[in-house]
Structure 1
């Protein structure tokens, strides 16, 4: 199991630890990019175009993994990581739990409970880098949902 702990009460970043590895998951303040520091090695998450739903995980100019939304209307992302193809999709329409499907099986990315940002990744993940990238993608989806929810409630209709 990989534990995913927020770095601070107001910080969007996470510390991941498990399976003999550790990582820092960082989100850019603006836009949908970020950084993964996995076992001391820094990897950049780059969005592939302003309106695209595609991202690349880059290590010094070399693409390590790619991912893209299958539709603008679903929370399903398909990608290719160091260990092969993966699929990240929501377990249900309303929940935050995500399923990471790889050739090794299905891992579950889930918050500890409804009122926390603490989370875990349980089950067989392809490799730690893919699990970290999938968690970054999950965190990005959670941030989008929170932003959309707060925007919807801040503009009363009528």
Structure 2
């Protein structure tokens, strides 16, 4: 059973949430999820994340990690080592059973605003991509000190006598 969600009321009553609502619509439309290669997403700290993909059999030069605006794309292609359909692996061995997946893949991860890729590494068949949220200084919350009014902006008086006249009275 498939349930359709109508996000139209949200579009009418929100401003600036277009990306989030579009992502919800895209998630609702997904019919078949590709599950290769398997992956984990970890939260390491308040602003640090890690994506780990199981890419057994792939070499570093067969993997591509691309960071686009709000998108992380990880792709793998082993075609250059494959035999011509004869069951060999291009290295003189003949494969009798292929249980380790060797197919090409492309896995996409939607990134939140200000999340950047810090680095990637391949070890023991696991590709690790480290991410960090880096909010620009201008967008970070800042504390505003409350102080005396400046001479260029004198304090407005709502009712009663000005402060100087009160003391004289």
TM (norm. structure 2) is 0.29
- Which of the pair has more CA radius of gyration? 2
Higher RCO (CA < 8 A, seq sep 6+): 2
TM-score by length of 1: 0.30
- Higher strand proportion: 1
